[in-house]
Structure 1
Amino acid sequence: LDPRAKWHDGKPITTDDVIWSFQVLKANSPMYSRYFENVTDAVAVSDREVEFHFDQKGNRELPKILGDLVVLPKHWWEGTDATGKKRDITRPTQDPPLGSAAYKIASFKPGSEIIWQRVPDYWAAKLPVKIGRENFDRQRFSYFLDDNAAWQAFTKGGLHDIRPENSSRRWNTAYNFPAVQAGDVIKQEFKTASPEPMQAFMLNTRRPLFGDRLVRAALTYPLDFEAMNRTLFFGSNTRTSSYFQGTELASSGLPQGKELEILEPYRDKLPPEVFTQEFKLPVYDSPQAERKYLKTAVDLFAKAGWVIKGGKMVNAKTGEPFKFEILGWNDTDQVLSSPYIANLRKIGVDATLRLIDQTQYINRLNNFDFDVTISQLGQSDSPGNEQRDFWSSKSADTPGSRNYAGIKNPVVDALVDRVIFATDRDDLVAATHALDRVLLWNYYVVPQHHRSVVWMAYWNKFGIPEKQPTYSGVDQNSWWIDADKEKALAAKYKSGN
């Protein structure tokens, strides 16, 4: 621990805080409990050092994860609130929690806004990693329940100054309002070199409907990415074909060398295609492609015991219709789902979309209460313990995990451990190739797309370093307010710009 480290109330951060935080998070956080699966305990070896004990050797990433441990103020959480009631870290609170970072909560209105105020005597302000960052004295975050309302607020200025843009349609057609034309709102692309997330329709295999790999494979073929990219995304997206897209960790070709050695012991438990075919998603590159791929889907359904009768895909034995719901919460989910649903209906599959409010959506997602949903799974250049949260059999039954597909596969479990306990970089790359390939050939998701740039629009009141981090594309915490630009905007628009 840095001897200068202190909480916002002036008390020092102690090893007792670190140990208590480890114990509380391991016991109460699904994510941390999986990350800390191989950590048995933590003990103080001096006033400034904590030693963590592991029950296994070779988990090379775990020490780094422990270095990222969120440290919480034990004295504050074990104290009482303004009413004299003892605080409970397992329950929600409207007490602004005590922190130790560059900002603290100045005020908030539940469901409306929260204001962060920079801490004038922040203990880490002069550390090399902090120089040039966290330059705003005050940040206000306003909550909008409707994306169109947020968009309108941005176009007017004064309330919404920086807007990351995800909509291809809006980026290409809507940034023509007067402030853009006058150069007072800037559109800018920031390129990224980081791994691309797996954005996909997540098929919940906890539902018997998606238990058959052939059925899941069949559901992959009706997605016409090329038409969607052309008609909806202005050609700006690229199809995602790996869980580790954009890195050397993505599998390709056929398994060979060390990857083949890793997969060989599981040959009889894996789809034969893992060893004989390169994984490829359908490409709708001609007018004939739709007929070809929809027929492939129908053939796969037939092998799984489903046939078309009266225009409906039904179970050949029971007559049960193949019907499922895609759960979403915003307009983007509708854009992504509608073309897919239309193609599914061409082969008799009755798919529908249900949009619910975000709070309800999060609760249902955490409890895996959905048939299919759209989500993203991000990766790093060094995968490790988080893979348990994504794919392990244990996480499939743990509410709040990111194993949305409900994967319970002993081979996947073994490969996850193989990634976590990789001996060196070459071993890690080979193990990740193997994991990627097995996940792909089991068709747990219907992959969508990615975009290797960050779209950002902002009112022209900021100073921005020329070099932005390629791993994230943009670092807003390195920006600052240009006082002259801000003054000019305020005078021109008579607002809070």
Structure 2
Amino acid sequence: MFKTIFQGFKQGLYIGSITGVLLCLSQVSFAGVYGLALGTQAKYASGKQSFAYVNPQAPKGGMLRLGVQGDFDTLNPFLLKGSKLAGAEAFGDSLLLDTLMTESWDEPFAMYGLLAQDIALAQDGLSVTFTLNPKARFSNGDAVLAQDVVASFKTLTTDEAASPFYRFYYADVKDVVAVSERAVRFDFAKKNAELHLILGQFPIFSHKSYPDGLGKAATVLPIGSGPYLLERFEYNRLVQYQRRSDYWADALPIRQGFWNFDQVRFRYYRDPTTYLEALKAAQFDVSYENSAKNWARSYNNPSLYERGFVKKEFAHSNNAGLQAYVMNTRRAPLDDRTLRQALALSFDFETINQQMFYGLYTRSYSYFSNSELAATGMISDGERQVLKPLQDKLRPEVLTQAVPMPAVVSPVLGVRPNLLLARTLLLQGGYRYQNGQLLDKQGKPIVLEFLTNAKTFERVSAKWQRDLAKLGITLRLRLVDSAIYQKRVQSFDYDIITHNYGQSQSPGNEQAEMHSCAAAQTPSSRNRAGTCNEAIDALLKRFEHFETRQELVDVSRALDRVLRHEYYVVPQWYSDQWRMVYWDKFEQAQPLPLYYDPISWPLKTWWSKSAP
């Protein structure tokens, strides 16, 4: 039934299934390994070493205090509605919840066994079986069993109160079955190259957690097997966790050097200014600074550094994805590509970067910025092979012209040449002017609304607003509170918003929720632009199956190229440095990982200097 003892499965892929050992996808045959990776040998495949970017001898102890901007009104991390408490993330590693496998930050996509100690992929590629570690225990003392995995999966993919993310991400799972007490099998509707890996990211909680469903459990935490327990909380003010002395996975190599603080506290601040002043007053310890203005101007008090304040940039190699103004194509006039292209031409990043961001940012240019997955220049041979079957569904320029890049504003002439080009495009597209206003083909003035819940984006967008006015376009800036913003975004009730297309180093099923026709019609999905394109839908299916890393690169570049030719977004900016500010209480291991985020990194891998 299953290929075991390292028999080859497809060209370039090998699997193994022996007790206590996890499979690895590789291009060479091998004996017992512990990891699983796509298209290459897993770096920590021996199962005997900790990750290189942690200190396995890091002392345990002390408290990490973190600040959070916002609030929370529910303890249930899986609900679609409500603001969630920090530290109980609903996907991937969290303080409360373990997953079947855990990811390495040193490889594009490699997974290592956590709750699962063994995995077996069916010979036909249509199912995978995980065998659970007999040592795995929930915080209530119960063993982690197959029935818990089944209950977790079915709850999050079928309960209407849950986020739709799970339904999209795991849409190709046809069924999940408890084969035995500690073995669970996932059956697939069709072959999918990464599905058995991303199932390893699924959060597992006890089947006792939500007997009456998620909708009636807004104040109920899941019973998890993670390293921490919720110690106390105050709605909208404070969440504090206590490290478990009986955490079952402490001795695993992949957990050595992680979760080093005895207590983790999150304190909430509604106002960004209050948050900033609280950090400088040492009310919490660590922050990632995403404001260029704050980085340049808000930490210039010498007394801060005399008292042990640290301001430092850390390099990373992460796929930066795309932060952008997203135009909602579900509604007119933004369903017109010509207008969207004109809007993109009119954005003056260079001036904003120098005058407001102190030159600290780089222009986003791709849905996979800062990555080998980004399309560049003319179409490559690999991309052409991917797109050839779809050429009748593509715009001709996708195959014949260079991929669109964000318009550059001249330091001498300013944005005026770009505005003139935008005006020409609009006139050619059937728009006309009357009394200084741009009118569509029906004679209706072009009036748009930019919706935001951040004053920073209101200030930045004012420059774009003035430049659009020169094109006869009215852009209204609408600042609302977080609750209203969340509700309107989830119901797609907006013209333009700022959205971040976060990307991994190995894109896959999540692309469907960002760009598919099905997601465009599903409230709360991440398809903010309302993208619905026959060629794009066909491309998204290619992420379900690929043989090599190069094939994934070609498919990603092809998708990126097609999306950019449609002008769904106005790209904004990114940084290839994490800007961290913190009090000098901690140690960090060297070398830095290649791929990491500034939130999880201190939480998971730093340790206290004062710990015994």
Residue 45 of structure 1 aligns to a residue in which SS? strand
Q: Which amino acid aligns with 2:166?
A: Y
> Is the CA contact 1:7–1:100 (under 8 Å) kept in the aligned structure 2?
yes
Residue 89 of structure 1 aligns to a residue in which SS? coil
1:308 aligns with 2:460: no
Give runs of aligned pairs for residues 37-48 of structure 1, distance below 5 A: 37-48=171-182
Match of 2:322 among 198, 203, 207: 198
State the partner residue of 2:110.
Answer: none
1:3 aligns with 2:128: no
**Identity of matched residues, %:** 36
> Is the CA contact 1:106–1:117 (under 8 Å) kept in the aligned structure 2?
yes
1:441 aligns with 2:570: no
Give runs of aligned pairs for residues 441-480 of structure 1, distance below 5 A: 441-472=565-596, 474=598, 475-476=601-602, 477-480=604-607
Residue 210 of structure 1 aligns to a residue in which SS? coil
Gap change, CA 1:179 and 1:478, over 3 Å in 2:
farther
> Is the CA contact 1:389–1:401 (under 8 Å) kept in the aligned structure 2?
yes
1:86-137 residue CA offsets vs partner (Å, 9 max, x unmatched): x431345223432211111111111111111111111111211111111111
Return the structure number with greater relative CO, CA threshold 8 A, min gap 6: 1
State the partner residue of 2:262.
Answer: 137
1:15-58 residue CA offsets vs partner (Å, 9 max, x unmatched): 0010111111111341111122111111122222111111212x
Match of 1:425 among 549, 553, 559: 549
State the partner residue of 1:369.
Answer: 493
State the partner residue of 1:84.
Answer: none
1:219 aligns with 2:343: yes
State the partner residue of 1:240.
Answer: 364
Gap change, CA 1:60 and 1:265, over 3 Å in 2:
closer
1:280 aligns with 2:405: yes
State the partner residue of 1:22.
Answer: 153
Residue 269 of structure 2 aligns to a residue in which SS? coil
Normalised TM-score (structure 2): 0.75
1:432-458 residue CA offsets vs partner (Å, 9 max, x unmatched): 111100000000111011100110100
Q: Which amino acid aligns with 2:609?
A: D
Match of 2:610 among 467, 478, 483: 483
Normalised TM-score (structure 1): 0.92
Q: State the shift of 1:470 in Å.
A: 2.4
1:56 aligns with 2:183: no
> Is the CA contact 2:205–2:222 (under 8 Å) kept in the aligned structure 1?
no
Q: State the shift of 1:223 in Å.
A: 0.6
1:36 aligns with 2:167: no
Answer 1 or 2: which has greater helix percent: 1
1:55-87 residue CA offsets vs partner (Å, 9 max, x unmatched): 212x11100111111112112322xxxxxxxx4
Residue 208 of structure 2 aligns to a residue in which SS? helix
Match of 1:341 among 454, 465, 470: 465
State the partner residue of 1:231.
Answer: 355
State the partner residue of 1:325.
Answer: 449
1:158-192 residue CA offsets vs partner (Å, 9 max, x unmatched): x2211110111110111112443415110011111
CA distance in 1, matches of 2:137, 2:195: 26
Q: State the shift of 1:473 in Å.
A: 5.4
Residue 77 of structure 1 aligns to a residue in which SS? coil
State the partner residue of 1:100.
Answer: 225
CA RMSD of aligned residues (A): 1.7
State the partner residue of 1:493.
Answer: none
Q: Which amino acid aligns with 1:198?
A: L
Give runs of aligned pairs for residues 393-404 of structure 1, distance below 5 A: 393-404=517-528
1:184 aligns with 2:184: no
Give runs of aligned pairs for residues 80-95 of structure 1, distance below 5 A: 87-95=212-220
Q: Which moved more, 1:349-358 or 1:415-424?
A: 415-424
State the partner residue of 1:173.
Answer: 297
> Is the CA contact 1:329–1:358 (under 8 Å) kept in the aligned structure 2?
yes
> Is the CA contact 1:191–1:473 (under 8 Å) kept in the aligned structure 2?
no
Residue 265 of structure 1 aligns to a residue in which SS? helix
CA distance in 2, matches of 1:261, 1:125: 48
Residue 209 of structure 2 aligns to a residue in which SS? helix
CA distance in 2, matches of 1:156, 1:453: 25
State the partner residue of 1:69.
Answer: 202
Match of 2:276 among 135, 142, 151: 151
> Is the CA contact 1:240–1:447 (under 8 Å) kept in the aligned structure 2?
yes
Q: Which amino acid aligns with 1:9?
A: N
Paired residues, what number? 474
1:293 aligns with 2:424: no
Residue 381 of structure 1 aligns to a residue in which SS? coil
CA distance in 2, matches of 1:318, 1:96: 54
> Is the CA contact 1:199–1:450 (under 8 Å) kept in the aligned structure 2?
yes
> Is the CA contact 1:212–1:304 (under 8 Å) kept in the aligned structure 2?
no
Q: State the shift of 1:261 in Å.
A: 2.3
Q: State the shift of 1:264 in Å.
A: 2.7
CA distance in 2, matches of 1:180, 1:308: 56
Residue 338 of structure 1 aligns to a residue in which SS? helix
Match of 2:249 among 124, 148, 156: 124
> Is the CA contact 2:393–2:534 (under 8 Å) kept in the aligned structure 1?
no
What runs of 5+ residues in structure 2 fail to find an aligned partner?
A: 1-131
Residue 240 of structure 2 aligns to a residue in which SS? strand
CA distance in 1, matches of 2:304, 2:563: 44
CA distance in 2, matches of 1:445, 1:464: 38
